[in-house]
Amino acid sequence: MFGLSRWMVLGYWVSVTVHGLVQPRGPVDVVEGLTGKPALPDLYEASVLDLQDGLDAGLFTSVDLIKAYFARIDEVNLKGPELRAVIETNPSAIMQAAAMDAERKAKGKRGLLHGIPILLKDNIATVAVEGMNTTAGSFSLLKSVVPDDAGVVKRLRKAGAIILGKANLSEFAHFRGNVASGWSGRGGQGTGAYFPSADPCGSSSGSGVAASIGLVAVTLGTETDGSITCPTSQNNLAGIKPTVGLTSRAGVIPISSNQDTVGPIVRSVTDAAIVLSVIAGKDPNDNFTLAQPDVVPDYTRALKKDALAGKRIGVPRKFFLDVPNIIDETVAAAFESALETIKELGATVVDPADLPSAEEFLASNNETIVLDVDFKIELNAWFESLVENPSGVRSLADLIAFNDANPELEEPTNFTDQSELIESQATSGKDAAYFQALAFDHELGRTRGIDAALQHFRLDALVLPAPGFTTSPAAVAGYPIITVPLGFYPDNTTIQSAGPLTVYPAPGVPFGLSFLGTAFTEFNLIGFAFAYEQKTHTRLARKAFPEAIPKTQLANVIGK
Ligand SMILES: *[C@@H]1O[C@H](CO)[C@@H](O)[C@H](O)[C@H]1NC(C)=O
Ligand SMILES: *[C@@H]1O[C@H](CO)[C@@H](O)[C@H](O)[C@H]1NC(C)=O
Ligand SMILES: *[C@@H]1O[C@H](CO)[C@@H](O)[C@H](O)[C@H]1NC(C)=O
Ligand SMILES: *[C@@H]1O[C@H](CO)[C@@H](O)[C@H](O)[C@H]1NC(C)=O
Ligand SMILES: *[C@@H]1O[C@H](CO)[C@@H](O)[C@H](O)[C@H]1NC(C)=O
Ligand SMILES: CC(=O)N[C@H]1CO[C@H](CO)[C@@H](O)[C@@H]1O
């Protein structure tokens, strides 16, 4: 009945067809049972396509998947190493999964996300009647009622996906002050799975940690400057920070409409392309999305192993690589070797290909001016938009007072800093200085930054290691970044402190490689990242530390 199914193959690269393309898969870490029944995918690594195959073949249901992922979340969230990746789970998920199972049986699947559980960063809204909060990790928003699902959530539900829960994050997407990455009042200190107490990076920290050890296959994060790229990098994942305006921010607790963007944090470029194809698109509730091209491409068509052949990839060294202590020797060595791989894949590496604005960029404080003003205006609008908020907080000023009035919840020892909230509250609004700073951001990031380098050197993309300040030009420009695994800190790495409760770097901690481009070039960047990923398979070179790997598998829940 299953023919020469890919489930039967042990330890080999297996091929399947995605939209007419042959895609390498695996290695599939499963064994054919003695009964001759096809084996189940290992949830640590199972891809969206693996899960769809099993669901289509009737090996398991979406209800089974929800049960297995819930059990895995409990294993590492509550017991074990307390990674604190997930803030809450969806009490309606089993019911929704049963409906998706019934629909699949009756009518077939809607698409590749039908019946697939998805974890959302806790700043992405879901309607309260479903049973989950939307709080950005803050007690000031506990039991608040949002008016509607976020735009990206509407698209996911229409595609048949099931929201599994909400991921922990750096509170308010880390726009709060100098508190450690991965900490929120509600979720506590989240930690990475590659070393005990590892800094998970943020602010989409829980999304990254959850994807890294298979608490779910698909997560969404948000980025304003680094918040998808960095947790992708530090958790050994594939992530896309889309062009601002490709994915809707309606219903996302904001920092800045000029820089915020929603994107996938997953284990492979293929899964990232599948998810982006669903969540991208115009939304009347986010007018930035109206500027995107009329047709959302099927990004899976970009998944070609020869995508780098004949392309020109630039290395903007000045101030992003060549300043002492910006990146360490481990990352620098891995990056130089990645450039060799990119050449082997048929690309011309143009090195250096500096941003004309590099020097001014590092000296510029324009980004902070814009974010402070946007945050105050947009967060106030968020509080105003709520149907109700039991905490009584209605504004940024109220939020600061709420935190001070509830120090045991929001300002525990070593997590007291609210300096960014306070600085933002002090701004006067969208005055001439704001518009001047925004114009400088666009000039430094776009016209004298990324676009200038791309045009001058006739490049298809730029490449940089993910660590360092490498996200900021794209952040102020609103341009896309795609990150894939690059390497791991070696076993003899000296462990350093990253916060009161976290360490970085440490032995085995991962780091990533980023491809960057101009607006709406995700299709090309996905191809380049896929070619590199398929050549190197770095993610599979090292696993999380044993206690951080949950043991529950589908076999433990099927029929129970
Ligand atoms: C929000 O969190 C509270 C406290 O954990 C919980 O009682 C409630 O059910 C959650 N969901 C909603 C929609 O308030
Ligand atoms: C979106 O709408 C707001 C007002 O509702 C306006 O200030 C802003 O300029 C618009 N942005 C774009 C990109 O159209
Ligand atoms: C903003 O950028 C411009 C251009 O580099 C620079 O002259 C100006 O000093 C910057 N402003 C701030 C506040 O950093
Ligand atoms: C750590 O090990 C690597 C080999 O993995 C070696 O090249 C390096 O010199 C060592 N570093 C230290 C500080 O011992
Ligand atoms: C935490 O804060 C206390 C004082 O507020 C300080 O003495 C201590 O060093 C801090 N701990 C860490 C790990 O930063
Ligand atoms: C779903 C889940 O495990 N939530 C936990 C998140 O972390 C808080 C604080 O540690 C726990 O109280 C929740 O149970």
Question: Residues 234-285: pLDDT tens digits?
Answer: 999 999 999 999 999 999 999 999 999 999 999 999 999 999 999 999 999 9
Rounded distance from Cα 244 to ligand 4 centre (Å):
41
Task: Tell me, using a 6 A CB cutoff, whether residue 86 lines ligand 6.
Answer: yes
Rounded distance from Cα 323 to ligand 3 centre (Å):
20
Residue 515 pLDDT: 98
Residue 24 pLDDT: 38
Q: What is the CA radius of gyration of the chain?
A: 22
Residue 37 pLDDT: 62
Task: Tell me, using a 6 A CB cutoff, whether residue 91 lines ligand 6.
Answer: no
Q: 26 exposed, middle or buried (CB, 10 Å; 0-12, 13-18, 19+)? A: buried
- 8 A C-beta contact, residue 232 and residue 220: no
Rounded distance from Cα 188 to ligand 6 centre (Å):
9
Residue 514 pLDDT: 98
Residue 136 pLDDT: 98
Nearest Cα to 25, choosing from 5, 44, 49?
49
Q: 34 exposed, middle or buried (CB, 10 Å; 0-12, 13-18, 19+)? A: exposed
Residue 78 pLDDT: 77
Catalytic residue among 47, 184, 205, 227: 227
Average pLDDT over residues 414-421: 97
Q: Is 268 helix (H, G, I), strand (E, B) or coil?
A: coil
CA 403/CA 335 separation, integer angstroms = 42
490 CA: nearest ligand 4 atom: 5
Ligand positioned closest to the Cα atom of 77: 6
Q: What is the mean pLDDT of the chain?
A: 93
Nearest Cα to 312, choosing from 354, 266, 346, 271?
346
Q: Which two tokens stand for residue 497?
A: 């402190």
Residue 323 pLDDT: 85
Task: Tell me, using a 6 A CB cutoff, whether residue 287 lines ligand 2.
Answer: yes
Ligand positioned closest to the Cα atom of 494: 4
- Tens-digit pLDDT profile for residues 309-362: 999 999 999 988 988 888 999 999 999 999 999 999 999 999 999 999 999 998
Residue 326 pLDDT: 85
Task: Tell me, using a 6 A CB cutoff, whether residue 87 lines ligand 6.
Answer: yes
Residue 336 pLDDT: 98
Task: Collect all residues with Cβ–Cβ distance below 8 Å to 71 and sequence separation of at least 6.
Answer: 550, 552, 556, 557
Rounded distance from Cα 376 to ligand 3 centre (Å):
21
Residue 559 pLDDT: 81
Catalytic: 203?
A: yes
Please give the sequence-ordered ranges of beta strands (E in DSSP) within 26-114, or none if there are none. Answer: 86-89
Rounded distance from Cα 393 to ligand 6 centre (Å):
23
Catalytic: 227?
A: yes
Q: Which two tokens stand for residue 307?
A: 């995508």
Average pLDDT over residues 80-104: 96
Ligand positioned closest to the Cα atom of 443: 3
Residue 39 pLDDT: 85
Average pLDDT over residues 76-98: 93
State yes or no: pLDDT of 396 exceeds 50. yes
Nearest Cα to 262, choosing from 224, 309, 315?
224
State yes or no: pLDDT of 405 exceeds 50. yes
Residue 324 pLDDT: 82
Ligand positioned closest to the Cα atom of 166: 6
Q: Whose CA is nearest to atom 6 of ligand 3?
A: 364
Task: Collect all residues with Cβ–Cβ distance below 8 Å to 146 and sequence separation of at least 6.
Answer: 125, 126, 127, 128, 134, 251, 385, 386, 387
State yes or no: pLDDT of 21 exceeds 80. no
Q: Whose CA is nearest to atom 9 of ligand 4?
A: 492
- Could you tell me what percent of the chain has a pLDDT over 90? 90
CA 151/CA 279 separation, integer angstroms = 8
Q: 188 exposed, middle or buried (CB, 10 Å; 0-12, 13-18, 19+)? A: middle
Q: Whose CA is nearest to atom 5 of ligand 2?
A: 287
Residue 221 pLDDT: 98
State yes or no: pLDDT of 79 exceeds 50. yes
Task: Tell me, using a 6 A CB cutoff, whether residue 288 lines ligand 2.
Answer: yes
Rounded distance from Cα 287 to ligand 2 centre (Å):
6
Nearest Cα to 18, choosing from 214, 217, 271?
271
State yes or no: pLDDT of 298 exceeds 60. yes
Catalytic residue among 121, 241, 311, 376: 121
227: Cα within 13 Å, side-chain hemisphere: 29
Q: Whose CA is nearest to atom 4 of ligand 3?
A: 440
Q: Which domains does the chain have, with CATH numbers?
A: 62-365+434-556 (3.90.1300.10)
Q: What is the DSSP letter of 252?
A: B
74 CA: nearest ligand 6 atom: 3
Residue 468 pLDDT: 85
State yes or no: pLDDT of 394 exceeds 70. yes
- Tens-digit pLDDT profile for residues 427-441: 999 999 999 999 999
Q: Whose CA is nearest to atom 12 of ligand 3?
A: 365
Rounded distance from Cα 367 to ligand 3 centre (Å):
9
Phi-psi region of 226 (alpha: psi -120 to 50; beta: other; left: phi over 0): left
Q: Whose CA is nearest to atom 10 of ligand 4?
A: 492
Residue 39 carries which side chain, given as an amino acid letter? A
- Tens-digit pLDDT profile for residues 492-506: 999 999 999 999 999
Predicted TM-score (pTM) of the model is 0.93
State yes or no: pLDDT of 117 exceeds 50. yes
pLDDT tier, 558 (very low <50, low <70, confident <90, very high otherwise): very high
Nearest Cα to 312, choosing from 462, 522, 447?
462
CA dist list (Å): 199 to 56, 172, 224, 381, 452: 38, 17, 19, 32, 35
Residue 19 pLDDT: 36
- Tens-digit pLDDT profile for residues 258-271: 999 999 999 999 99
Q: Which of 178, 189, 413 has most ligand 5 atoms within 8 Å of CB, for mutation?
A: 413
Task: Tell whether omega for the bond before 357 is within 30 degrees of 0, i.e. cis.
Answer: no
Q: Whose CA is nearest to atom 2 of ligand 2?
A: 287
Rounded distance from Cα 471 to ligand 3 centre (Å):
18
Ligand positioned closest to the Cα atom of 187: 6
Catalytic residue among 140, 181, 203, 364: 203
Task: Collect all residues with Cβ–Cβ distance below 8 Å to 305 and sequence separation of at least 6.
Answer: 24, 530, 531, 534, 535
Q: Whose CA is nearest to atom 9 of ligand 6?
A: 187
- Could you tell me what percent of the chain has a pLDDT over 70? 93
Residue 189, strand partner residues:
183
Q: 142 exposed, middle or buried (CB, 10 Å; 0-12, 13-18, 19+)? A: middle
State yes or no: pLDDT of 29 exceeds 90. no
State yes or no: pLDDT of 15 exceeds 80. no
